[in-house]
Chains A and B, each alone.
Chain A
Amino acid sequence: MQQRNGTAVRAEGLVKHYKDGDETVEAVRGVDLEVSAGEIFGFLGPNGAGKSTTVRMLTTLLTITDGRAEVLGTDVAAEPDAVRRRIGVALQEAGLDPRQTGRELLVLHGQLYGFDKARAAARAEELLALVGLEQAAGRVTKGYSGGMQRRLDLAAALVHEPEVLFLDEPTTGLDPASRLTVWDEVRRINGRGTTVFLTTQYLEEADQLCDRLAIIDDGRIVREGTPANLKAELSERRGGEDVSLDDVFLDATGRSRDRAAGEVQEVGA
């Protein structure tokens, strides 16, 4: 899965503008990113900072207004299908077909990635076991709990064994036990060599899971580095004071704790 220069995702001057009536909304204002193959990269930011918009551009779901993005060396805008073959995507809402069973959904995805029916069925069983949904596999997904939906969504994103997995707030709204299950799953997937690009609004999650992270605010990257380095840098600036990742976040986004409440949360699993 390693690209020749070891870069899984690269963005240069990524810009996204929307038209909202007569106004132009600048959702992303020139994002530069580089994610190494094999790492778990965290993408943090307050609500509306541009996290999901950036992910949607990188995953071919949104057109790019300006700048350039590559996934595994392939230009996202020029060859979207080539990118789609090599990435897995689990978006903010667990996007599931409510009228299919868990098993049918995974078989369908396998077939859409070109597997024959037998291979798609075998892969579906593997993934159901992986995410612990064998018992619920014959039920329509509409009746799944939030945690089960997330796990199935994750399984659906893994059907074709993607080299880069984009997870957009995969644990939002989950209870602590389900959150831990998803964390374990992300570690296991990454342990098998898959690069993970993870957006989250939970600082604890980023601290626990990510090798490196970037903080985006108002459409621009305001900090980038490993969690340890980011904390060390802030601590040094503050004369050796003990700091946490939420201090880094608040410093980077210029927010007070009161203002940040509800935008980014510190949660323990």
Chain B
Amino acid sequence: MSATLTLGMRSLREALRQPDALFMTMFIPIFFLVVNTGQAAEVFPSDSTGFLEGQGYGAFQLPITLLLAASFGMGALFLVEEIEGGYFDKLRAMPIPRYSMVLGRLVAEAAKGVFLASLIVLLALPFGITIASGPLGFVLLVLLTTSWGVVYAGFMQLIALKTRSAAATNSGGLIFFPLLFLTPNFVPREMLAPPMEVAATINPVTYLMEALRSLILTDLDWAKILPGFAVVAVLGAIMLALNVRMIKGYD
């Protein structure tokens, strides 16, 4: 475990030395929040739109912003750079557990996730967005967003290890966009047209988004929250197993 933490601290230092990457991670999701809210807020006024639970449309859009921010991690690209530059082999030649080389970067992604999710929520508060589920809800919101960020970064890392190519790893990030838009991102699931509703129902990201949304709009609703955590747990277990398998067979 100490090797994991040591490598995690290194990855965190690496992220702090690349502040422009953190800026882009924040900028694009906030841009989407502003644009989506600006376009649809008039269509869904808070006083007559039941699914907003009395909040503005920005609160409904906040989960997408959080998920996007969590999905813009640079860890996998740093890993490719390390593979191409030879440092990854230097680490592989050390007597450290192979899983540490996977988990070390994910520890850093978790720390970054906590920071980014907290910052985005705090930036949203002055615009009238509140976390209806209270302080515990805020913690769960940050935890769920961070967990998704870690899982997503893990899958990106898998692509990096498999392809050893920055271009392929970058393209891998685009996989998320169809998944994000096959969700009830503009209106609740029951208001979607039937084919979209089916697509959203089979898309695991939907449950994540609904969990985050319920934490923002309503009091703690475990029936909505737990499926979100279950999705992250299942995908996280798959991601870890695949990563460890990949790194053990890495030649």
Q: Which A residues fall within an 8 A CB radius of B?
A: 59-63, 81-82, 84-85, 87, 89, 91-100, 104, 108-109, 111-113, 140, 153, 156
Contact = CB atoms under 8 A, between A and B. Distances in A.
B109 to A, nearest CB: 16
Given A99-B17, A111-B6, A61 B87 contact: no
14 contacts: A60-B93, A84-B94, A87-B93, A89-B89, A91-B86, A96-B85, A96-B90, A98-B81, A98-B85, A100-B10, A100-B13, A100-B14, A104-B10, A112-B96
Contacts of B91: 112
Interface residues on B, range: 20 to 34
A140 B13 CA distance: 12
Contacts of A96: 85, 87, 90
B93 A61 contact: yes
B139 interface: no
Contacts of A87: 93
B3 A112 contact: yes
A108 B92 contact: no
A99 B96 contact: no
A156 B90 contact: yes
A63 B86 CA distance: 18
Interface in B72-92: 78, 81-82, 85-92
A123 to B, nearest CB: 15
Contact of B17 (A81, A91, A140): A140
Contacts of B90: 89, 91, 95-96, 153, 156
Interface string B158-185: 0000000000000000000000000000
B251 interface: yes
B48 interface: no
Contact of A108 (B10, B81, B88): B10
A99 B94 contact: no
A135 B73 CA distance: 34
Given A60-B93, A89-B90, 13 more contacts: A60-B92, A84-B94, A89-B89, A93-B86, A95-B89, A95-B90, A96-B90, A99-B14, A104-B13, A112-B7, A112-B96, A140-B17, A153-B90
Nearest to B86: A95
B95 A81 contact: yes
Contacts of B7: 112
A85 B95 contact: yes
Q: 6 closest A-B pairs (Cβ-Cβ)?
A: A95-B86, A93-B86, A84-B95, A95-B90, A89-B93, A95-B87
A194 to B, nearest CB: 16
A91 B87 CA distance: 9
Contacts of B13: 99-100, 104
Given A81-B95, A112-B3, A91 B89 contact: yes
B93 A108 contact: no
A62 B249 CA distance: 9
B6 A112 contact: yes
A108 B92 CA distance: 14
A59 B93 contact: yes
A269 B13 CA distance: 39
B10 A97 contact: yes
A113 B94 contact: yes
B20 to A, nearest CB: 13
A61 B95 contact: no
A182 to B, nearest CB: 17
Nearest to B91: A112
A96 B82 CA distance: 8
A94 B13 CA distance: 21
User: Which has the most chain B C-beta neighbours within 10 Å: A62, A93, A153?
Assistant: A93
A108 B6 contact: yes
Contacts of A109: 94
Given A91-B90, A99-B13, A100-B10, A113 B85 contact: no
Contacts of A59: 93
Contacts of B6: 108, 111-112
B85 A95 contact: yes
Nearest to A63: B251
A85 B91 CA distance: 12
B82 A97 contact: yes
Nearest to B83: A95
B140 to A, nearest CB: 33
A113 B95 CA distance: 7
A236 B78 CA distance: 56
B220 to A, nearest CB: 41
